[in-house]
Amino acid sequence: MLVPMRAILEAADKGNYAQGAFNVNAVCQIKAAVEVHEMLRSPALLQGADLANGFMGGCAEFAQSTLEDKKTGAKNIADAVRKYGQDSRIPVAIHLDHGRDFDSCVAAVEGGYTSVMIDASALPYDENVELTREVVKYAHARGVTVEGELGVLAGVEDDVFAETSTYTNPLTAIDFFRKTGCDALAISYGTKHGANKGKDAKIRKEIVIAIKECMRHEHIDGFLVSHGSSTVPEYIVSELNALGGKITNAYGIDVSQLVEVAHCGINKINVDTDLRLAVTRNLRELFAFDPSLQSSASIGGVYELLMKYPEKFDPRVFFVPLMDMVMYGNEKDTDVQRLSRAVEDGVKEALAPLIVKFGSYGKAPQVEAVSLEEMAQRYKNAGI
């Protein structure tokens, strides 16, 4: 069943665990993500980043994707989530990650997303508040959850880039919640976008604790989000490099730190890089174990890109020859089917341990089965 993200985060907050939020960029990834959550009876929170919508809209050079690309891609992603999640026994939400402007958020909502993020954190504070509030007014009228961001995370993820971090001020976070009416807030407390978060990176749980305590004191009904939280499994990086990859300086956040902050007030933990690494490792492994596939008429182009870009680990770089599979899940022959299964296996391998460690396994029955229409009425009754 599809639900607004708020319903999933409410269960996480009450249950004192964190909900993993996982980025997807192809129909087969969505299928695998829903299936592994079903297996573990966990709620599922899937994310399509702003540029993922562009890619799923058919723009191979997704950094240059247009609003029309994003509209098409948002619908493709949401359609796939509905296909595998609408009749599922677990609650599933689809969330826009790092929406860059109002129009991107509208495109996601119109495409079928049940939650959106507006990332205006690079703007002056008052402008961030104003833009976030406008998105809240639009989305809440449709029952859609809204996530904002306050503070700046260092690192690179798609078109999100910053050299240094600016930590979130707890008192400012309270003001932001009050002025915008947003449901969730991504905070900066030491995590970092990308695969290189720094060796032995330490996150500042005291910032999380302070914000959550202020929220409780001021009766703020909202949720905290941890971006840039991939764990970057060392064994996957090693295996990927042994298969011809050239991934260097890859260090993630120690999962024990994420488990700790899950009990300190973080309700949602975003993970993207782990999936990218596992899928790219599986792609390389597929061609290494069966060299005949390297010259396949249908998937040989993927192998050529893997050889051309050994330093890359974003599967979108290698998926370009298979956009019909990516966008619509069409598998025209057995070679494409084998590649798609390898992708699915990588997604499941990356997600399963995090679902268990973050604590959402077995929690699906605790999520309220609320529709967007019902949630819209609740927002209206509450004046938000």
pTM: 0.93
Task: Identify the pLDDT of residue 164.
Answer: 47
Contact 278, 353 (CB under 8 A): no
Task: Identify the pLDDT of residue 155.
Answer: 42
Amino acid at 42: S
HSE value, Cβ hemisphere, 13 Å, CA-based, for 292: 3
Q: Catalytic pick from 50, 69, 97, 274?
A: 97
Residue 335 is among the residues annotated as catalytic for this protein? no
Token pair listed for 176: 């932001």
Q: For the chain, 384 residues long, give each residue's pLDDT as a single digit of tens.
A: 999 999 999 999 999 999 999 999 999 999 999 999 999 999 999 999 999 999 999 999 998 999 999 999 999 999 999 999 999 999 999 999 999 999 999 999 999 999 999 999 989 999 999 999 999 999 999 999 999 999 765 444 445 444 445 788 999 999 999 999 999 999 988 877 555 545 666 788 999 999 999 999 999 999 999 998 899 999 999 999 999 999 998 888 999 999 999 999 999 999 999 999 999 999 999 999 999 999 999 999 999 999 999 999 999 999 999 999 999 999 999 999 999 999 999 999 999 999 999 999 999 999 999 999 999 999 999 988
